[in-house]
Amino acid sequence: MRDSKNLNFSNRFIELGPEFYQAKTPDPVTDPYLVDFSPSTAKLIDLAPEENSTQGFIGRFSGNMPLEGAQPLAMAYSGHQFGSYNPRLGDGRGLLLGEVKNKKQEIWDIHLKGAGPTRFARGFDGRATLQSSIREHLASEALNGLGVPTTRSLAIIGIRELIYRQKPEMAAILVRVADSHIRFGSFEFFHYTGQPKNVQRLLEFSIQCHYPEIAEESDRYRIFFQRTLQRTAKMIAKWQAVGFIHGVMNTDNMCITGTTFDYGPYGFMDRFVANHTPNHSDTQRRYAYSQQSEIGFWNLNKLAETLVSLVGAEPLQEEMRQYQTLFNRFYREEMAKKMGLAILDSEFTQCVQGMFQLLQEHQLDYSNFFRFLADYPGNPQMANGAINNAKDELNSWLSQYLKLTQREDLNHEERKTQMDAINPKYILRSHLVQNALDKALKESDFSEIERLRILLENPFQDQPEIFEHYGIDADSYAQDTPDSFLCQQTSCSA
């Protein structure tokens, strides 16, 4: 393990030249302090977990002290936002510090979000709010705990500065760790500004960094798109399975490695409402839960448009035609695991359709329904009042489901073990997030952030030691979302 002074940064992206970025150092900040630190993320870059208590770590990642070898830069990109092209985007407040290679020879980007305005800031202050930083920090670690590809959050560093959104808010810097920061919108920027050579240069760079095994293939550009499409379909299938709603699936928020990227007004499904969007600005429900697969297709099509001159329209269209089949396959596989089933035939399809009709009609709690299902029929006790109210329809559907389980080569205990290992007991419910935010923003108490992060790193098990350590009620973290927080919406303000 190493300290933050000896991370041995490099930055391959800087070799692309100034058309691709603005070189800039982070702006100094006032009296930085640590809000939370993720030891599991620190392991990715071989950073000693005790670094979180050092002033050196806080100083270096707040921008007040230099990071040896780092070459900070703000990346150029554009993108389609809510279906309309916006040419004026880019890292307005973010800086890619560089890359760090760990002992496994894995390379990770380290990025500061909220490090001060760049030339892409469009008149904004270049800072991030403490509230939005806490939300992204928790969501990143929660999705990772659920096995969904995601950027990670190493730390939140608070700043004793007020910034203004709808109201005055405290500022912070989020230290993000990711396998890539190249977005669909990175390609769009050069495509729509008439720079085809830079589209090709970015494509070659992306292949060398993220798909080196295809670098010598004659049709590597097509394979690159194929791989990006496959990873994107798999990521969204996992979102759907765990009940995650991104909320702002603009093309500048889509990463070429199929990694969940840029958390804004996200949400996790509580009571099942298929057309729910957690983004209160999304009045047309473009980015609702039920639309995420379709929007993934739409965004990939926008990426494909930037590559037509290099790959050809027909090969790209042929790859696009594979998307729905791939997504359906990935999604069926995820749902089969959640239901403890392995035979994916027409009866399985009918059973899944019937389950979602039941969930939607009675707005049952999505995650807790699967934990209930894992207990059935060994523990047929109704899990809560909502399920009890749907008892007649539920029993009818359960009889269909039990017939499918009887075709499998598993007894009840084996099935329950498998299902409990894939269906979380704890998810990042809106009221849990709000409780952590209230303590942090009103009382400067960050203990609930730490508690939630630790809990959600392994959301499938009871983890009694956590609750014993903190002296809190375990069951309260697994209960259905209170009515006042159901289908909550938040803004893009950050």
Convert the pLDDT of each residue in 26-83 to its tens digit.
999 989 999 999 999 999 999 999 988 889 999 999 999 989 899 999 999 999 999 9
Total domains present in the chain: 2
pTM of this structure: 0.95
Minimum mean pLDDT range among 1-10, 140-149, 191-200: 1-10
Per-residue confidence (pLDDT) for residue 414, from 0 to 100: 93
**Mean pLDDT, residues 309-333 taken together:** 98
pLDDT at 380 over 60: no
CA–CA distance, 189 with 198 (Å, rounded to integer): 10
In a domain, 485, yes or no: no
**Among 180, 202, 230, which residue terminates a domain?**
180
Residue 385's pLDDT band, with cuts at 50, 70 and 90, is low
Residue 439 CB-half CA count within 13 A: 15
Per-residue confidence (pLDDT) for residue 494, from 0 to 100: 58
Burial of 162 (0-12, 13-18, 19+ CB in 10 A): exposed
Residue 428's pLDDT band, with cuts at 50, 70 and 90, is very high
**Mean pLDDT, residues 381-385 taken together:** 51
DSSP character string of 238-258: HHHHHTEE-S---GGG-BTT-
In a domain, 401, yes or no: yes
Residue 389's pLDDT band, with cuts at 50, 70 and 90, is low
**Among 380, 409, 438, which residue terminates a domain?**
409
In a domain, 58, yes or no: yes
Per-residue confidence (pLDDT) for residue 382, from 0 to 100: 46
Convert the pLDDT of each residue in 163-205 to its tens digit.
998 899 999 999 999 999 999 999 999 999 999 999 999 999 9
- Quote the tokens at residue 482: 């209170």
Active-site annotation holder among 109, 252, 270, 365: 252
The more confident residue out of 237 and 123 is 237
Per-residue confidence (pLDDT) for residue 485, from 0 to 100: 72
In a domain, 153, yes or no: yes
pLDDT at 103 over 60: yes
Contact between residue 140 and residue 21 where contact means Cβ atoms under 8 Å apart: no
Name residues whose C-beta falls within 8 Å of residue 404's C-beta, 6 or more positions apart in sequence. Answer: 339, 341, 343, 347, 348, 351
Per-residue confidence (pLDDT) for residue 493, from 0 to 100: 57
Q: What residues pair up with 85 in beta bridges, in sequence order?
A: 80
CA–CA distance, 99 with 231 (Å, rounded to integer): 22
Minimum mean pLDDT range among 335-344, 376-385, 386-395: 376-385
If DSSP codes are grouped into helix, strand and coil, which group holds residue 150? Answer: strand
pLDDT at 207 over 80: yes
In a domain, 292, yes or no: no
In a domain, 43, yes or no: yes
Per-residue confidence (pLDDT) for residue 492, from 0 to 100: 58
User: What is the four-CA torsion angle of 273, 277, 283, 286, rounded to 10 degrees?
Assistant: -100
Contact between residue 202 and residue 187 where contact means Cβ atoms under 8 Å apart: yes
If DSSP codes are grouped into helix, strand and coil, which group holds residue 234? Answer: helix
Minimum mean pLDDT range among 334-338, 370-374, 451-455, 489-493: 489-493
**Mean pLDDT, residues 275-294 taken together:** 95
Please indicate whether residue 252 is annotated as part of the active site: yes
CA torsion sign for 157, 124, 253, 91 is negative
In a domain, 138, yes or no: yes
What percent of the chain clears pLDDT 70, i.e. is strictly above it? 96
Query: Measuring CA to CA, how many Å separate 292 from each of 155, 287, 289, 407?
Result: 29, 6, 6, 32
In a domain, 207, yes or no: no
Convert the pLDDT of each residue in 116-144 to its tens digit.
999 999 888 999 999 999 999 999 999 99
Residue 381's pLDDT band, with cuts at 50, 70 and 90, is low
- Report the mean per-residue pLDDT for the chain: 93
**Among 387, 409, 431, which residue terminates a domain?**
409
Name residues whose C-beta falls within 8 Å of residue 272's C-beta, 6 or more positions apart in sequence. Answer: 243, 356, 359, 360, 363, 364, 365, 366, 369
Structural domain of residue 95, as residue ranges?
A: 4-180
